[in-house]
Structure 1
Amino acid sequence: RAKKSRPEERLVHCYEYCRHVLLPIPTKLKKLLGELSVRKFTSALVQRLVDRIADEGTPSKAAHVLRYLRRVMQWGRNRGYLEINVALGIEAPAERKQRHLPSPKVMGELIARAHAKGKLTRGQKGSCPAYLGYVMELAYLCRLRGIETVTLTDANELEEGVQTNRRKGSRDNVVRWTPRLRAAWEGAKSYRRSVWTSQAYPVPTAAERRFIIVAAHGGALQKSSLDTTWQRFITKAIRDGILTEEQRFALHDLKRRGVTDTPGDRKQKQDASGHRDEAMLDIYDFSLPLVSPSAD
């Protein structure tokens, strides 16, 4: 098998992600989208899917999904599986260009709120999954994407710290233990232990199969489920006046806050974030360098 280049690997990963986003979506036919015959797809259905995902506050995700559907359906049309590509002509969502950097105060309040809401009984009004506060802490402290956070396992726990599992060609590193990082890590494991006990979940023998963040059923938490939980959490926080619509930020912005808060120069920030290209710091590092005046 020919080895894929890094751009090809990223493309495959993106398409796999889009597929996992689409498969569990319910339809008016009372079937999941993944169970629906592709010949039953209509332009109206695709437009509703794209609009629905965009309305969740994730227009970029909706745009990725639309590009994926266009390409897959064109592949099927070219090979006789479809008569027309119903994804062509669909209105694409306007992707947000603005990058948000949550303030330390807002971020801290939301993390505390997630922990407090996570202690409520599941199904109780105002509750949220207990894992969310730990996901937020780990994403910020280790400068991780959401998918990287939910795929951490016991194998990533080293004596020196947490070994990252970065995607998109970024370099892994080991994030040293601090009291705050250790508390978040152990808190997630404690929650996992309680879920496994209540669900009589069989504990995997291999460390790399014991995910630190687990869903309510005890298994691995899917990224699509995390995205849905996050949108509900943020929307409710806005309704309750915890933050304004202008202060709204994505889960991924916690990584941006983490890179910005990393002490040191650009080289040290790049090592901490795992970016191979220094230019990526212009996207993730919002800190201002402290410089001397041109003359005394």
Structure 2
Amino acid sequence: MLNEFANDVRELTGGPVNIEILPSGSVVGNREKALISVAWNWALERDYITLDNPTKVVKPNDEKPRDHYVTDKEYNIAYQLAEGTPYLRPAMELAYLCRMKRCEILAATKKHILKEGFDTQRVKGSKDAITFWSDRLVAAVNYKASEIESFYIIHNRYGQRIPESAFKSAWTRLKKKMKKAGIEPFNFHDLKAKGGTDFNGDVLDATGHLDPKMRKVYKRKLEVEATR
């Protein structure tokens, strides 16, 4: 279906369209629907087509929120395994301690460092928050890949921002190491959920989400200690 759609878009625009075919499943089906919707609206805005977006009448598949809770043991093992890609370690700490997403972490700069703590500056309309300083957070934001000063908190040895694609590839390699080490490989976003679950307070305040429904997504364990 997506290949046929891509061919139609190529004919309309005269340009290349790259489509990644993912494994089948209810979640993937929802992602494909979203992709087609965005592309269709793009074509509508530019008068390539006149028909209304057909995805409006397609009911999304039910999705079960991910419920894996990353234990302290799993976190510590993964942290040690990340030694080969040094920038993964401070990124893990920011995801957990500040309940931040990957894109927020990669975009974080020295401007986020305030006297009272670290400014998360969340995306997608979520509430920003300041995480007060702890020894772990100080160590994470002071990460240096080399002697070259960088504007970005997470950076490579040349002081440059880490591209999303490079980070995803590095995390995929780390997940393979987790499996070999005998722990369940977890997604990077699971660390934000762990931080929200471990937070000593309302999980919505911890993660910056405004929708109460997100409490089920980020509260993955009933009794936990406060975030370190």
The TM-score with structure 2 as length reference comes to: 0.73
CA contact (8 A) 1:50 1:62 kept: no
Structure 1 unaligned residues grouped into runs of 5+:
1-35, 83-87, 119-129, 198-202, 204-209, 291-296
Distance 1:138 1:159 in 2: 17
Given candidates 279, 283, 294, the residue that maps to 2:217 is 283
Given candidates 119, 126, 133, the residue that maps to 1:170 is 126
Distance 1:61 1:108 in 2: 31
Q: Per the alignment, do residues 80 and 277 of structure 1 end up closer, same or farther by CA in structure 2, a change over 3 Å counting?
A: closer
Tell me the secondary structure at the aligned position of residue 175 of structure 1.
strand
Structure 2 unaligned residues grouped into runs of 5+:
1-9, 50-54, 56-60
Give, in angstroms, the shift of residue 241 of structure 1.
3.0
Are 1:228 and 2:165 an aligned pair?
no
Match of 2:31 in 1: 64
Tell me the secondary structure at the aligned position of residue 259 of structure 1.
helix
Residues 176-213 of structure 1, C-alpha deviation per residue, up to 9 Å, x if partnerless?
A: 11111111222x2x22x43x37xxxxx6xxxxxx2111
CA contact (8 A) 2:99 2:196 kept: yes
Match of 1:146 in 2: 102
Give, in angstroms, the shift of residue 140 of structure 1.
0.5
Distance 1:101 1:154 in 2: 31
CA contact (8 A) 1:50 1:65 kept: no
Distance 2:28 2:88 in 1: 20
Given candidates 105, 118, 132, the residue that maps to 2:73 is 105
CA contact (8 A) 2:197 2:220 kept: yes
Match of 1:259 in 2: 196
Give, in angstroms, the shift of residue 117 of structure 1.
2.0
Distance 1:142 1:104 in 2: 16
CA contact (8 A) 2:152 2:159 kept: no
Match of 1:207 in 2: none
Q: Identity over aligned residues, as a percent? A: 28
Give, in angstroms, the shift of residue 273 of structure 1.
2.1
Given candidates 119, 128, 133, the residue that maps to 2:89 is 133
Number of residues of Structure 1 aligned to a counterpart in Structure 2 = 204
Distance 1:228 1:285 in 2: 27
Match of 1:215 in 2: 156
Q: Per the alignment, do residues 160 and 62 of structure 1 end up closer, same or farther by CA in structure 2, a change over 3 Å counting?
A: farther
Residues 248-288 of structure 1, C-alpha deviation per residue, up to 9 Å, x if partnerless?
A: 2211110000011112x43xx43222222333222211232
Distance 2:115 2:29 in 1: 40
Alignment map for 1:34-113 (pairs within 5 Å): 39=14, 46=19, 49-51=20-22, 64=31, 67-69=34-36, 71-72=38-39, 75-76=42-43, 97-113=65-81
* Amino acid across the alignment from 1:274: G
* Amino acid across the alignment from 2:80: A
CA contact (8 A) 2:68 2:220 kept: no
Match of 2:6 in 1: none
Match of 1:248 in 2: 185
Tell me the secondary structure at the aligned position of residue 50 of structure 1.
coil
Give, in angstroms, the shift of residue 242 of structure 1.
3.6
Tell me the secondary structure at the aligned position of residue 220 of structure 1.
coil
Q: Per the alignment, do residues 69 and 216 of structure 1 end up closer, same or farther by CA in structure 2, a change over 3 Å counting?
A: farther
Distance 1:280 1:95 in 2: 13
Q: Per the alignment, do residues 147 and 71 of structure 1 end up closer, same or farther by CA in structure 2, a change over 3 Å counting?
A: closer
Give, in angstroms, the shift of residue 71 of structure 1.
3.9
Tell me the secondary structure at the aligned position of residue 162 of structure 1.
strand
Distance 1:155 1:272 in 2: 21
Distance 1:215 1:108 in 2: 23
Q: Per the alignment, do residues 78 and 185 of structure 1 end up closer, same or farther by CA in structure 2, a change over 3 Å counting?
A: closer
Tell me: higher relative CO, structure 1 or 2? Use CA pairs within 8 A at least 6 residues apart: 2
Distance 1:66 1:77 in 2: 16
